Structure formats: C-alpha cells, structure tokens
Amino acid sequence: MTLGQTDGVRLLIVGPQGSGKGTQGIRIAEAFGIPAVSTGDVFRAAVAAGSDLGQQVKAIIEAGDLVSDELTSAVVRDRLSHADAEGGFLLDGYPRNVSQVMHLDEFLEGRGEGLDAVIELSVPRDESIARISLRAQEQGRTDDTEAVIANRLAIYERETAPILGVYRTRGIVDEIDGVGSLDEITHRIIAALEARGLSRSAAA
C-alpha cells in the first residue's frame, strides 16, 4: 500500500506510561504524512471549541469523573471525520479498552476501513517506572510517586493490554522493543510497518 491511495494508512500505537508512545506516535505520523490523534489532544480541542461534545467532556472532567467509553468514542469519531484524517491517521490513547475497540470497529467498518497495524511499544515495567520518575523530577511533579506510577501501570495492564490480544488474533500487531534512542526506536517501527507494505510519505 502506498500513501496517496484512497485506502490510506490507519495505525494505532499502544504502550504503558513511560514507553515514549506519545513522542514516537508524532514521529511515525509525520513519517507517514498522517495526523496523530491522541485522546488528550482531542478532548482539549473539543472543550476549546465549545461544541456539544466538548461541553459534556468539560463538565465530566471538572467534576473529577472519567469520561465514559461512549462519549470518548463519540469525540474520537468526530475527530476522525475531519478532512485531514481521510487519508489515514495514527491513534494514541484510544481505544484504551476492549469496549472501545468494538466502538472503533463499528465506526471504521461503517466507512469500509480497518486498522492496518497496531504498534506495541514493549518496555520493561521497571524501565517505565524509572522514566516516569525521572520526568516527574525534571518537571517538579511531586504527585508522581512510585506508588502512583505503579497504580497507573496496573490499570494499563488490566484494561489496555487486553486489546492487544484482540488485535493479535487479527495478525496486525507489531511488537517493538521500546528501549533505545529515539531514532533507534523510530527506525524499528518504520521497518516493521514497511515490512507490511505500508509506505512512508514521499515528503517525509
């Protein structure tokens, strides 16, 4: 598959906190000439736009509650309906559980599409904790204690890791070693995607 075809390139990047998936997601999206769509960015944009969906998200966040799977999926569907995502996209942070996988499947099937590949950034648990702790120190965030970080990783392992099992049965998961320099990891990801016949943007 080459970029520029109506089929597009649709990717999902998955990894625990501290895996570097946000940074790698942006790099890979740029390499393939597609928008990086992260849940956090989508929520912030919806709130800033003051749309009906944005107002619902704002009220929930201000109340300190978690945004439901249904509302999260609605906000992401709205973002993926924008013109810049017609030629493909890279999702980061969504779907975060099996329920959201079903919502995404339904949406993409309705457009005659599907994910081309799921990038799993594999990082040892102690490495994730060390990276997050270092980042917290650099940013002066005292709330990121080791116990808090361990709890976040436990939530990932319990809720998000199972979606990889779903995608593995479809044969679209590429497990990437997430330890190394930024460039080394980026090259590993691109090599795996190109091995699937997914071509980078000529402009990259």
pLDDT in tens, 167-203: 999 999 999 999 999 999 999 999 999 999 998 765 4
| Residue 180 falls inside a structural domain | yes
Predicted pLDDT of residue 7 = 58
Domain that holds residue 180: 9-38+89-195
Question: Model-level pTM?
Answer: 0.89
Does residue 144 or residue 53 have the better pLDDT?
Answer: 53
| Residue 142 falls inside a structural domain | yes
Predicted pLDDT of residue 16 = 92
| Residue 73 falls inside a structural domain | no
DSSP assignment of 5-48, as one string?
BTT-EEEEEE--TTS-HHHHHHHHHHHHT--EEEHHHHHHHHHH
| Residue 169 falls inside a structural domain | yes
Residue 152 · residue 144 · CB < 8 Å: no
Predicted pLDDT of residue 201 = 65
φ/ψ (deg, to 5) at 141 = -95, 105
Query: Could you give the number of structural domains in the chain?
Result: 1
Predicted pLDDT of residue 4 = 35
Neighbouring residues of 143: CB distance < 8 A, sequence distance ≥ 6: 136
Does residue 4 or residue 11 have the better pLDDT?
Answer: 11
| Residue 24 falls inside a structural domain | yes
**Residue 37: closest CA among 29, 46, 47:** 29
Q: Which residues pair with 22 in a beta bridge?
A: none
Neighbouring residues of 192: CB distance < 8 A, sequence distance ≥ 6: 117, 119, 174, 176
Q: What is the CATH number for 101?
A: 3.40.50.300
Percent of the chain scoring above 70 in pLDDT? 95
| Residue 74 falls inside a structural domain | no
| Residue 183 falls inside a structural domain | yes
Residues labelled as active-site residues: 21, 96, 135, 141, 152
